[in-house]
Amino acid sequence: MDLPASEIASFALAIGAAGVVAGLLAGIFGIGGGAVLVPVFYQVFGLLGVDESVRMHLSVGSSLAIIVPTSLRSCRAHFLRGAVDMELLRSFVLAVPAGVVAASLTAAFISSAGLRAVFAAILFLVGLKLLFNRKGWKIGEEIPGNPVRSLVGFVIGYLSTLMGIGGGILNNTFMTLFGRPIHQAVATSSGVGVLISVPGFLGYMWAGWGLAQLPVASTGYVNWIAVLLVIPITLLVAPLGVRIAHALDKRHLEIGFGCFALFVSARFFWSLL
């Protein structure tokens, strides 16, 4: 899509507004942002007339590119505090990227409707878990070893890449179900985010390479206007969301994001009709 300067400016303004919304919500709900960025991008790209056949792919790929610097920064901070489970992270070094590669190959062939269905189904389950969450929910006292651990890593990498998220939602659930404290789960998930986002956004660039339907400043399924605008905006706005979050009860936040997840899931399911 070759756009005049005025339309590029409008595109940038709309994406900037999306970054404000995503950063605020990510700060409030304490997530990496992908679960917020993808639906926000999907709506904004639609308003800007991006072709439906590439809109969801572009939203996912751009989200993964944005997660790269934030996950690297977060992982380093958690590592310096000694909060990351390095033994678990090392066991994911091959399994998670393998899932990312498989998802990138899937993205090259899956339809927009298929990608939306995957996103909606997983977010629906996440929403239910948050709404009905109980502190005592566990399925074991120790995280299983291989081959179960590698299979879980592969699935986390695969599903997260199809959704455009950093894996925090899935890995947090996995670790806490096996008795790990939430702070360790969050810290380790920042490392999982690096394993997902770096090969993930490169994979989406490859999967959409050269498509004529893509908007200006896109390399494959990554739009650089969105990436370069949203990264600094989310970093600036997220602390405000964090302050709001600290004024609220943790359970209220879980219910709030659970409702948000179910709303977004319903919105995507509706788009499939």
Domain borders along the chain are 5-271
Mean pLDDT (whole number) for 231-247:
74
User: 1 pLDDT exceeds 50?
Assistant: no
Distance of CA 172 to the CA centre of its chain: 13
Minimal CA–CA distance to 241: which of 60, 44, 24?
24
Measured between alpha carbons, how far is 26 from 24 in angstroms, rounded to an integer? Answer: 5
Does the pLDDT of residue 221 top 90, yes or no?
Answer: yes
Element (H, E) at 223: strand 222-223
Chain segment 117-146, per-residue pLDDT in tens: 999 998 898 888 878 876 666 777 788 888
Task: Kindly indicate the confidence band of residue 31, based on its pLDDT and cuts at 50, 70 and 90.
Answer: low
Mean pLDDT value across residues 99-125: 92
8 Å CB contact between 41 and 50: no
Q: Are 157 and 103 in contact (CB under 8 A)?
A: yes
* pTM, entire model: 0.83
Taking the mean position of all CA atoms in its chain, how far away is CA 76? 19
CA distance 118 to 37: 16
* Lowest-confidence pick of 43-47, 163-167, 178-182, 206-210: 178-182
As a whole number, mean pLDDT of residues 35-58 equals: 86
- Neighbouring CB atoms inside 10 A of 212's CB total 7
Mean pLDDT rounded to a whole number for the chain: 83
What local confidence, expressed as pLDDT, does residue 237 receive?
78
Task: Using alpha carbons, list the distances in angstroms from residue 125 to 49, 101, 223, 225.
Answer: 30, 24, 29, 32
Specify the pLDDT at position 58. 94
Does the pLDDT at position 33 exceed 80? no
Is residue 90 over pLDDT 80?
Answer: yes
